Structure 1
């Protein structure tokens, strides 16, 4: 039986509903094209991962994201609630099904590699929590080996304080944690330009 699960949070590729900060700078159609690129880039990496679950939003978007699905991947709607509630729901479901380690990512980080994901699962052998810091003060990956709703509660989602607040919650909960390398998300035009000129 599999012990690990990788959960990918993503949005349906709808015009005007993805990459809204980027869209405000470069237009909705261009932002949608960037979003499709980022998803494809992420899924190229995931081709080497077993037990992948796609958690999509909105809940009626299964047909729109089904073409991205790997042969053995699960498709699950994210459901209602804040980002924290949806992340906590995904981790709780994984542990309830008997899994020992769960790692969650989005599709905003084009620098992500298979080795990063392997390192996250390896870290959870000896740590309760693993986190991938993002250069904007958030995180590009979070992983657990036990349920902990506290790290998803009362977080200033979308702010530069997300990582700091999450690690404070982890310490308060007595979790042993480690951090992976810092990577950049693509949320703005300058982020996208930086990635394009990075040579990756």
Structure 2
């Protein structure tokens, strides 16, 4: 049986700690609400994909995990975990690269393939998740590029600690630098189609103005 894991990375919706680049345009509380709406969308997509996959193929065991920081016991996080019957884990590491390497290493202790997706990746679809897993049938690592030079998804079939060290997170070179690091570990890389995520006011205006409805 093929064991797969999808890990959703997202922060507790704490005012002043999430979607801070939106605050000058819409304020603190509205930024928190946008953060929750983004997470709601990603979680719903992943959970629907997982349920469909379980029904379609009895030879695949697919689990979903929540990985969070700031406050693992936040009511929003625990409420979502209870709603879907998902386990919640604390992120560990000094930066995003270390946090993802840690979570993927934990997932691969019991799984054959692991994906990490961000809670703000509103362009994520079920087909995209399937393409990522399909890619891992022939590649060690897979990336889902974002149009800002980063990525909305990373997946692996094996993990080496330090794999994503020395990445300048938040810059337009994140994807290129991450791919170079992975290749330096003699791991093969697959690349999916480009997608977008939501970080700035311009991102919302271009891609998802519906996130502002009622705010």
Q: Which residue of structure 1 aligns with residue 141 of structure 2?
A: 129
The alpha carbon displacement at 1:60 in A equals: 4.2
SS at match of 2:25: helix
Q: Which residue of structure 1 aligns with residue 102 of structure 2?
A: 89
Asked if 1:182 corresponds to 2:194, the answer is yes
- Distance in 2 (CA, whole Å) between partners of 1:138 and 1:80 is 19
Which residue of 118, 140, 165 corresponds with 1:153? 165
- Distance in 2 (CA, whole Å) between partners of 1:184 and 1:94 is 26
Q: Which residue of structure 2 aligns with residue 11 of structure 1?
A: 11
Pairing 1:68-147 to 2, within 5 Å after superposition? 68-69=80-81, 70-96=83-109, 98-147=110-159
The alpha carbon displacement at 1:80 in A equals: 4.5
SS at match of 1:3: strand
TM-superposition CA deviations, 1:155-196 (whole Å, max 9, x none): 101111110101111221111111111111110001001113
- Distance in 2 (CA, whole Å) between partners of 1:100 and 1:130 is 14
- Distance in 1 (CA, whole Å) between partners of 2:178 and 2:69 is 23
Contact 2:8-2:43 at 8 Å conserved across structures:
no
- Distance in 2 (CA, whole Å) between partners of 1:116 and 1:17 is 29
TM superposition outliers: structure 1 runs of 4+ over 4 Å? none
Q: Report the RMSD for the aligned CA atoms in angstroms.
A: 1.8
Farther-moved stretch of structure 1 (61-70 vs 28-37): 61-70
Q: Which residue of structure 2 aligns with residue 172 of structure 1?
A: 184
Contact 1:58-1:78 at 8 Å conserved across structures:
no
Which residue of 77, 91, 94 corresponds with 1:65? 77
The alpha carbon displacement at 1:63 in A equals: 3.8
Provide the aligned length of Structure 1 versus Structure 2. Answer: 197
